[in-house]
Amino acid sequence: MSTHDRSRVLQVGPMMPALAQSLHDDYDAYVLPGDPGERAAFLSEHGGEITAVVTSVVGGADAALIEALPNLAVIVNFGVGYDSVDVDAAVRRGIAVSNTPDVLSDAVADTAVGLVIDTMRQFSAADRFVRAGRWATEGMYPLTREVSNSRVGVLGLGRIGTAIAKRLNAFGCAISYHNRHRIADSPYRYVESPEALARDVDVLIVAAAGGDASTHLVDSTVLDALGPDGYLINIARGSVVDERALVEALTSGRLAGAGLDVYADEPNVPEALFGLDNVVLLPHVGSGTMQTRAAMAALTLRNLESFLQTGRLVTPVPECRASQS
């Protein structure tokens, strides 16, 4: 029997097992069926009961789902990025939305730095070279690009971008950034546009939030400004980069390399990249450590519990902060 009898929680999309278990055991949560027919039947039968949705980048809450839940009061997002939630539709209905900032910044920044090093030094490719027995037959692996003291551009100097900059600053890198707003007390050099930033650096790291405002911020013009000696790293959202233009630039040698953790249509990754040794491909593992995922799950549950008990969230998204204060 639920400990929260008057509120019904709906899990949308897969969740890490411990979190799914808590939602089941402590909240008697429903799980939204994946099959479209079953989903429609579930929503017409139970939609009116649901007051809270718990979701992530994989599930999300679009306008149609929000509309199908007339008593929805809160959307609790597991993850810092909430571009899979239609926040405008939620705000119009007075529905509160939370995410999980801060607790994952270190893990994602570690991933970004790992991708920078792996891409520029080609460690994954060199590992494949050893395993294929090519060292003994072909001799030394070709020389690669040095990371220390290189020029780094961070696109989006939020919490994660700042954690990345801090790490690469310790590598002696010259850090520049572009951001929606210039940051008054930042120790890093502000550059007016993504294109100008790309022109000035050896490696451009995408750390901007996803969503309509940042879609294809990195397009063919920005990639050409980065040029044949430049590297692109993306740990943010696939939507921020024009993926077709990126594949084109990489396959035609107009870019030195790329390290990617995120893609336009996950889990589908452009197969044209599979044979390129100057490209490192990760399966969206930026926050994927046991410690960080446990912290994200705990913050997700704190938000849910706090809202159900008090009507207030611990970490509301910026668009909802006014109505929470």
Binding residues for ligand 8YV, per CB under 6 A? 56-58, 78-81, 104, 284, 287
Our CB check for ligand 8YV shows the closer of 108 and 198 to be 108
Residue 237 is among the residues annotated as catalytic for this protein: yes
Report how far residue 157's alpha carbon sits from residue 234's, in angstroms, rounded to the nearest whole number. Answer: 14
Report how far residue 280's alpha carbon sits from residue 259's, in angstroms, rounded to the nearest whole number. Answer: 5
Our CB check for ligand 8YV shows the closer of 122 and 287 to be 287
- Could you give the strand order of the β-sheet that contains 8-11, starting from the edge strand earlier in sequence? 30-31, 8-11, 50-56, 74-78, 96-98
Least CB distance from residue 115 to ligand 8YV, whole Å? 15
Contact 160, 100 (CB under 8 A): no
- Say which of 8, 178, 284, 293 is annotated catalytic: 284
Least CB distance from residue 214 to ligand 8YV, whole Å? 13
Our CB check for ligand 8YV shows the closer of 7 and 56 to be 56
> What sign for the dihedral angle of Cα 270, 146, 223, 205?
positive
Q: Are strands 279-281 and 231-234 parallel, antiparallel or unpaired?
A: unpaired
Least CB distance from residue 58 to ligand 8YV, whole Å? 5
Element (H, E) at 204: strand 203-206
Report how far residue 61's alpha carbon sits from residue 56's, in angstroms, rounded to the nearest whole number. Answer: 9
Q: Which residue is nearest to ligand 8YV (CB)?
A: 79
**Is the bond preceding residue 318 a cis peptide, omega within 30 degrees?**
no
Least CB distance from residue 85 to ligand 8YV, whole Å? 11
- Say which of 67, 248, 266, 319 is annotated catalytic: 266
Least CB distance from residue 236 to ligand 8YV, whole Å? 8
Our CB check for ligand 8YV shows the closer of 8 and 293 to be 293
- Distances in Å between the alpha carbon of 124 and those of 115, 117, 131? 10, 10, 11
Our CB check for ligand 8YV shows the closer of 57 and 113 to be 57
Least CB distance from residue 77 to ligand 8YV, whole Å? 8
Nearest to 15 by CA among 75, 47, 57: 57
- What is the rounded end-to-end Cα distance, in angstroms, of the chain? 33
Token digits of residue 201: 């650096």
Nearest to 111 by CA among 119, 121, 102: 119
- Say which of 8, 178, 195, 237 is annotated catalytic: 237
Our CB check for ligand 8YV shows the closer of 8 and 284 to be 284
Residue 284 is among the residues annotated as catalytic for this protein: yes
Residue 271 is among the residues annotated as catalytic for this protein: no
* Residues marked as catalytic: 237, 266, 284
